[in-house]
Amino acid sequence: MKPTQALVAIALVASFPAVAQPPQHGGTHRERARTFLVVRIADALKLNDQDAVKVSSIVRASDERRQGLQQQRRALEEKLRTALKKPDAGAELSQLISEGNDLDQKLALVPEETFHELQKILSVEQQAKLFLLRHELQGEVQRAIHRRLGSSTHPPTRTPESGAPRKTP
């Protein structure tokens, strides 16, 4: 078995617990994207099987953290919409906005935190290669998302009041 094939097998095995769970919104695509990311990193850094499994675990934990934060943000958006309908909700709105800013900051830090977690298991040379690979991986992920969304360059805008997609002329 070639090293790349072994890494694909490891990444797939590492993703079995999530596949066994009922699929959530985008679960299948998420697993494939996660597997692609792990295989890409493992191949570029020439990781052994043990380190590839560690990378898979770190990427999975990072993705789960991001999903949790996104879920919290959606719930907060709902609270904001409800509060906007109330008269004299200034203090409540201010608190919700502050919470939203904190959530957005935590979401923005997830990739950086993931990189730092990966650094802990990598040699200095592998860290340097990962640093150089990061930008390339970000571009690949963005292109994959755009292809999945139908090559739209921008996601649909949503109205602040309802959260529904805004109709474009």
Computed over every residue of the chain, the mean pLDDT equals 81
pLDDT of residue 55: 96
pLDDT of residue 151: 59
Which amino acid, 58? I
pTM, to two decimals: 0.69
Residue 135 has pLDDT above 70, yes or no: yes
Instruction: Tell me the C-alpha distance between 161 and 17, whole Å.
Output: 38
At 148, the pLDDT band (50, 70, 90 cuts) reads confident
Inter-residue contact 14 to 53 (CB < 8 Å): yes
Domain boundaries, the chain: 3-148
Range among 34-43, 68-77, 156-165 rated most confident = 68-77
Inter-residue contact 15 to 56 (CB < 8 Å): yes
At 158, the pLDDT band (50, 70, 90 cuts) reads low
Of the two residues 11 and 88, the one the predictor is more confident about is 88
Inter-residue contact 31 to 15 (CB < 8 Å): yes
